[in-house]
Structures are given as C-alpha cells and as structure tokens.
C-alpha cells in the first residue's frame, strides 16, 4: 500500500494518479437538505456493512475507495443522491439502474442509480454494491 504524502489517501499502487485537493465532505453537503444528507449517510453506512473503504471527496464527486475506486457519488441533489458503479459488463436486467453507458475505448460500463429514499438502498442495490466493491478491489494489480 502507498499513502500519498499530500492528501493521505491510500492506494494499492505506488504513485497512483489521483487528484489531491482540499475538498471535504462538508463542502459537498453544505447547503444540502437534511433529506439529502441523511440519504447520503444512509448509503455510506449500508456500504460499510459490506466492507471497509475510504470516502474521498474529489473536485467534482465523492469516490469510495479501498485501494481502487469502486463507486462514485456523482451528485447530491435537492432531495436525491446519484451514484455510479463501474462494471466490466452491463447488468441490464435490474430495477435500480436508470442508465448504463459504455466507456469508449475501455471495457467498462458505468451504471447509474438515483436514490430518493432510504428504501432505494434495497437488497438488489446492495447486491450490485457488493459486486462493485469486490470486483474492483479484486482487479488491483491484474492490469
């Protein structure tokens, strides 16, 4: 494991490319409704039941990382939270993703879901949350 001396984020690869910045969770949550903030923390706590990770605010989003980034909070809206999971294949047969997009030039399919209430973090979504964490972390050092 390598820890960036500037931002203290831990990576599996030495000198991993990333964005060191001074963004904080507070800067993302500042001005958001209590419903959005509660929903964000509910999602994070549900993920903590699956495994250990760090929450890393970047310039434009919040990434979840355990040596490799496996999920992204893309947007904190007025009363919702948008989340993206990168997978190596599209998971078309589901009720939780509103959009699946392939990344040009890569074997990656980004799956987007919108959380509007705590019940959206259900068994189906948790299955994909687990797949994202286990797959991405399992791929470290294989490329």
Beta pairing partners, 82: 75, 114
Instruction: Tell if the pTM clears 0.85, that is, is over it.
Output: no
CA–CA distance, 64 with 61 (Å, rounded to integer):
10
In the chain the first and final C-alpha atoms are separated, in Å, by: 17
For residues 83 and 24, the model is more confident at: 83
**Cβ(76)–Cβ(35) below 8 Å:** no
What is the mean pLDDT of the segment spanning 25-49?
A: 94
CA–CA distance, 61 with 27 (Å, rounded to integer):
11
> Which domains does the chain carry?
23-138 (3.30.1460)
What is the mean pLDDT of the segment spanning 120-132?
A: 97
For residues 99 and 16, the model is more confident at: 99
């Amino acid at each position: 494991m390598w820890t960036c001396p500037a931002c203290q984020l831990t990576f599996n690869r030495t000198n991993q490319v990333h964005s060191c910045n001074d963004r904080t969770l507070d800067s993302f949550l500042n001005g958001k409704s209590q419903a959005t903030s509660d929903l964000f923390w509910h999602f994070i706590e549900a993920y903590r039941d699956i495994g250990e990770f760090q929450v890393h605010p970047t310039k434009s989003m919040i990434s979840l990382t355990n040596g490799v980034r496996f999920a992204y909070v893309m947007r904190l809206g007025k009363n919702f939270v948008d989340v993206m999971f990168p997978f190596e294949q599209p998971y078309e047969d589901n009720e939780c993703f509103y959009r699946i997009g392939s990344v040009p030039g890569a074997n990656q399919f980004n799956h987007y879901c919108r959380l509007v209430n705590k019940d959206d973090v259900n068994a189906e979504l948790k299955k994909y949350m687990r797949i994202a964490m286990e797959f991405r972390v399992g791929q470290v050092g294989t490329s």
